[in-house]
């Protein structure tokens, strides 16, 4: 960015699916674009559960934001966390720098929500960042290691119990993957315990898992998980989470490996702006994604709440990012703005195990191996960069053939107490 | 391990090159073997510098100890850190368990030595574990990110200065790799800084780098590094290390990315046994690797000091592990023990950059691209497991063709202050 530049300044906060798509849509615009993110990398969140379950490495689903935008000459990248936004002076304040803007796109995504029980966080990590994923990976693998050393049956039983809270796609994927680790990957690796004896519980507050899917696909996933030995508990509320287990009302389940896949809340973007937010903390935006009273500020992806509910998935964030980028392009060029944002739902996907998935695309429904193939190809396709595609494809093939997992690393000392 | 087993109990502490080779040599012995390690994985240390310089992922050079020993039915694996050894009762005490032994093999390797300046550790991390490697990776990448945001020339200069202390193979490899990151990988990625302006200093106390190599190969490496823009400073003592730089006597060099490759010291094994140690903390062993006064205890690899100096490299640890395993096998079978341990030096290898290495094998000397090819094939060959070999080979090919690095992740918040 030339200091004396008179070009319009566009700041994009967040290098997730929404932010990057906005930057891409602005690639031909005569402007100075800055993408700022807390991390130096874009994370391909749909495959985070595979890092958490030791299939692939963090670097396989992460890509430096600088590399992605290297060839886009009107865009620069900065590493930093946002402290505040001065909407009057039109300045974003990060930890070490200030960024003036003419247009601002906020694409800061979500974090976990513990429904007011923030103290549950340490006991039940969620799955939104690579750090979360390696933490869960360590905790799951460490449970088996500690069970092998356990001196009594009660300890062994507790250490071989895995609880996943939340029956959406992430919960279903985690439950299926942990079942496979216990029943297949680790099957011959221990001498004092039989990993196949592990209990895996998937707890969902609503009446069925995968509530966003058609009922027959939910039922299919439920049946598949049960066949893999997962105890699926629907209409069950978690009332307490501690480091040694969860409470379901009166009932207590002892476990030291609890994974939170139950709820999310938006980032602090609404607070930065002093904007009105919905219950999940998302900014209530106009139908062109602009923030009321601020035609120069846009919220996209999980940061935005529209009149109609839009699912918190990658394609939705991308569509919104693209729309905001195009709208700013039109505005700068003095052309008419595009019509209001309309979300097009492409479909829903969730894997259940190493050769099964449920897929819903318009009228098409796929299950089992065909669903899994579709899911695999779709996810490989959307990974950024030929290297990552190749590596993940090869790793999956290898895992599929050998039942092994190539990233069984315990990298943090995560013992309780 | 069957509780009532009357088989001899063999405990091997450490799942590095020495410990695993000892376990393998005991595979046909009628005994109960336990391998205990602080980590759940074996680390292929010769390639740690490639994790530290963002080429490959931790999981590419790490393998679960359980997987490695899965098929060896007389061996079990335990995760744990040693607290003490009771040589009278013949019991190893780890954090949560006690392991009785009839034979004990100690293969606990080395950690960094700061020559009495333990306070330098945080400012200048060494490179012995995967955690060390990801820490250095984050620190190096973060320096460039922070330089991009720097508000003045002094900060920028300090953040673009990288110091490697120690001119052995690890120091040479780190210096070459950081030079490539600055000159090639990141070349087009920044807008406010030119990564090629980075200063990379390799500081060696002795008169030449690679002191264990023949003089002409040292000179070759020196010249190659200089051509890559590395400032090689020999006969130079580091007198202080702080988070903001190093002192070389009167001279101060400002840097926030200092890597320690200068010295190692043995683990606490000599203290556990109350055995006599050399200056580096290695146990002075008999010529059959047994600990004086304890014919049932053996020290191998970097844990052992023999009358003749043996280099701290993987082949040496493997030879000692194999010897100890065979000796115990013979002892249990009531056969004559093998003759004293004799080390066979196969050679020395060090890479300098993406297409250059120095290799010394008996009378054979290789340099440049041929040396690099030899080095690559040798390292791929010694990696455990077909998957890791394939992944690392492909990653190298990809990096070689594209000049890119696939694991450019900053995973820890490692800002000073």
CB pairs under 8 A between A and B: 136
Cβ contact, residue pair B189, A70, below 8 Å: yes
Cβ contact, residue pair A410, B40, below 8 Å: yes
Is residue B73 within 8 Å of B27, Cβ to Cβ? no
Using the 3D structure, point to which of B236, B262, B288 is the last residue of a domain: B262
Q: Which residues are within 8 A (CB) of A19 and not within 5 positions of it... i.e. 6 or more apart? A: A12, A13, A35, A37, A105, A107, A300, A301, A321
pLDDT in tens, A139-180: 999 999 999 999 999 999 999 999 999 999 999 999 999 999
Contacting residues of A for B388, CB less than 8 Å apart? 406
| CA dist list (Å): B193 to A81, A115, B102, B181 | 20, 44, 62, 14
Contacting residues of B for A130, CB less than 8 Å apart? 409, 411
In this structure, is residue A101 part of a structural domain? yes
| Whether residue A249 is found in the same domain as residue A375 | yes
**pLDDT tier for residue A4 given thresholds of 50, 70 and 90:** low
ipTM: 0.86
| Whether residue B257 is found in the same domain as residue B301 | no
Minimal CA separation from A406 to chain B, in Å? 7
| Whether residue B272 is found in the same domain as residue B217 | no
CATH code of the domain covering residue B274? 3.50.50.60
Contacting residues of A for B92, CB less than 8 Å apart? none
| Whether residue B92 is found in the same domain as residue B137 | no
In this structure, is residue B369 part of a structural domain? no
Give the residue on B whose Cα is nearest the Cα of A143: B79
Minimal CA separation from B311 to chain A, in Å? 29
Write the residue in A64, A406, A408 that is nearest to B408 by C-beta.
Answer: A64
Let me know if B238 is exposed, middle or buried by CB neighbors in 10 A (0-12, 13-18, 19+): buried
In this structure, is residue B298 part of a structural domain? yes
In this structure, is residue A49 part of a structural domain? no
Active-site residue set of A: 173
Q: How many CB atoms lie within 10 A of CB A103?
A: 27
**What's the pLDDT at B412?**
55
Residue range A239-254: average pLDDT? Answer: 96
Cβ contact, residue pair A149, B97, below 8 Å: yes
Minimal CA separation from B70 to chain A, in Å? 5
Write the residue in B79, B387, B409 that is nearest to A62 by C-beta.
Answer: B409
| Whether residue A163 is found in the same domain as residue A234 | yes
Cβ contact, residue pair B79, A145, below 8 Å: yes
Contacting residues of B for A40, CB less than 8 Å apart? 141-142, 145, 408-410
Cβ contact, residue pair B188, A70, below 8 Å: yes
In this structure, is residue A1 part of a structural domain? no
Write the residue in B40, B130, B145 that is nearest to A79 by C-beta.
Answer: B145
Give the residue on B whose Cα is nearest the Cα of A192: B1
B-interface mutation test, from A408, A415, A416, most B Cβ less than 10 A away: A408
Using the 3D structure, point to which of A274, A302, A333 is the last residue of a domain: A333
In this structure, is residue B201 part of a structural domain? yes
Minimal CA separation from B53 to chain A, in Å? 13
Write out chain B's pLDDT in tens, 417 residues. 445 578 999 999 999 999 999 999 999 999 999 999 999 999 999 999 999 998 888 988 998 999 899 999 999 999 999 999 999 999 999 988 999 999 999 999 999 999 889 999 999 999 999 999 999 999 999 999 999 999 999 999 999 999 999 999 999 999 999 999 999 889 889 999 999 999 999 999 999 999 999 999 999 999 999 999 999 999 999 999 999 999 999 999 999 999 999 988 999 999 999 999 999 999 999 999 999 999 999 999 999 999 999 999 999 999 999 999 999 999 999 998 889 999 999 889 999 987 899 999 888 999 999 999 899 888 888 887 777 777 787 788 777 777 777 777 776 544 333
CATH code of the domain covering residue A146? 3.50.50.100
Place of tokens 């620069």: A76
Active-site residue set of B: 173
CA distance A224 to A233: 14
**What's the pLDDT at B413?**
42
Residue range A338-362: average pLDDT? Answer: 90
| Whether residue A18 is found in the same domain as residue A127 | no
**What's the pLDDT at A412?**
55
Using the 3D structure, point to which of B262, B281, B310 is the last residue of a domain: B262
| Whether residue A148 is found in the same domain as residue A193 | yes
In chain B, how many domains are there? 2
| CA dist list (Å): B266 to A38, B17, B128, B322 | 39, 15, 12, 20
Write the residue in A60, A130, A387 that is nearest to B411 by C-beta.
Answer: A130
Contacting residues of A for B96, CB less than 8 Å apart? 146, 149, 151
| Whether residue A197 is found in the same domain as residue A272 | no
| Whether residue B270 is found in the same domain as residue B143 | no
| Whether residue B146 is found in the same domain as residue B227 | yes
| Whether residue A247 is found in the same domain as residue A387 | yes
Residue range A297-310: average pLDDT? Answer: 95
| Whether residue B171 is found in the same domain as residue B84 | no
Write the residue in B39, B78, B186 that is nearest to A149 by C-beta.
Answer: B78
In this structure, is residue B47 part of a structural domain? no
Q: Most confidently modeled of A12-16, A67-71, A365-369, A378-382?
A: A12-16
Residue A336 per-residue DSSP state: P
- Of the candidates A69, A329, A27, A347, which has an alpha carbon nearest to the alpha carbon of residue A217? A347
Burial track A310-336 (b if 16+ CB lie within 10 A, e otherwise) = bebbbbbbbbbbbbbbbbbbebbeeee
Cβ contact, residue pair B186, A406, below 8 Å: no
Q: Which residues are within 8 A (CB) of B60 and not within 5 positions of it... i.e. 6 or more apart? A: A57, B47, B51, B388, B391, B392, B395
Cβ contact, residue pair A76, B192, below 8 Å: yes
Tokens of residue B410, six digits? 């900053």
Cβ contact, residue pair B39, A410, below 8 Å: yes
- By residue range, what is the domain housing residue B90? 9-38+80-112+264-333
Cβ contact, residue pair A409, B40, below 8 Å: yes
Write the residue in B41, B142, B411 that is nearest to A58 by C-beta.
Answer: B411
Is residue A248 within 8 Å of A237, Cβ to Cβ? yes
In this structure, is residue B25 part of a structural domain? yes
Contacting residues of A for B148, CB less than 8 Å apart? 78-79
Cβ contact, residue pair B408, A70, below 8 Å: no
Minimal CA separation from A189 to chain B, in Å? 5
Contacting residues of A for B66, CB less than 8 Å apart? 186, 189-190
Cβ contact, residue pair A66, B190, below 8 Å: yes
CA distance A364 to A347: 9
């Amino acid at each position: 960015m030339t200091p004396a530049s008179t070009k319009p300044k566009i700041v994009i906060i967040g290098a997730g699916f929404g932010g990057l798509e906005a930057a891409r849509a602005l690639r031909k615009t005569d402007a100075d674009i800055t993408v700022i993110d807390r991390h130096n990398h874009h994370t391909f969140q749909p495959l985070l559960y595979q890092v958490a379950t030791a299939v692939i490495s963090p670097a396989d689903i992460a890509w430096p934001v600088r590399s992605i935008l290297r060839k886009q000459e009107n865009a620069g990248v900065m590493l930093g966390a946002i402290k505040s936004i001065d909407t009057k002076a039109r300045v974003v304040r990060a930890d070490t720098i200030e960024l003036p803007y003419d247009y601002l796109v906020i694409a800061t995504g979500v974090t976990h929500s513990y429904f007011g029980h923030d103290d549950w966080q340490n006991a039940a990590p969620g799955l939104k960042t690579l750090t979360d994923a390696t933490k869960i990976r360590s905790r799951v693998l460490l449970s088996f290691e500690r069970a092998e050393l356990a001196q009594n049956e009660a300890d062994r039983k507790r250490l071989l119990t895995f609880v996943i809270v939340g029956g959406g796609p992430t919960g279903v994927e985690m439950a299926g993957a942990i079942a496979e680790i216990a029943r297949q990957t680790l099957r011959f690796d221990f001498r004092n315990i039989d990993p196949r004896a592990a209990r895996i519980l998937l707890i969902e507050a609503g009446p069925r898992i995968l509530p966003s899917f058609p009922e027959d696909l939910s039922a299919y996933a439920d049946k598949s998980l049960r066949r893999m030995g997962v105890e699926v508990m629907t209409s069950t509320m978690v009332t307490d989470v501690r480091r040694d287990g969860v409470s379901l009302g009166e009932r207590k389940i002892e476990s030291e490996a609890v994974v939170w896949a139950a709820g999310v809340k938006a980032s602090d973007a609404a607070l930065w702006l002093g904007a009105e937010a919905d219950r999940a903390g998302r900014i209530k935006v106009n139908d062109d994604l602009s923030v009321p009273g601020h035609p120069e500020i846009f919220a996209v992806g999980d940061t935005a709440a529209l009149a109609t509910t839009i699912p918190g998935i990658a394609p939705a964030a991308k569509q919104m990012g693209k729309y905001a980028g195009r709208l700013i392009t039109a505005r700068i060029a003095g052309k008419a703005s595009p019509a209001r944002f309309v979300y097009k739902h492409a479909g829903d996907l969730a894997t259940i195990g190493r050769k099964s998935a449920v897929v819903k695309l318009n009228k098409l429904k796929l299950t089992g191996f065909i669903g899994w193939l579709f899911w695999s190809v779709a996810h490989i396709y959307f990974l950024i960069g030929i290297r990552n595609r190749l590596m993940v494809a090869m790793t999956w093939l290898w895992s599929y053939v050998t039942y092994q997992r190539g990233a069984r690393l315990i990298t943090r000392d995560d013992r309780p107490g």
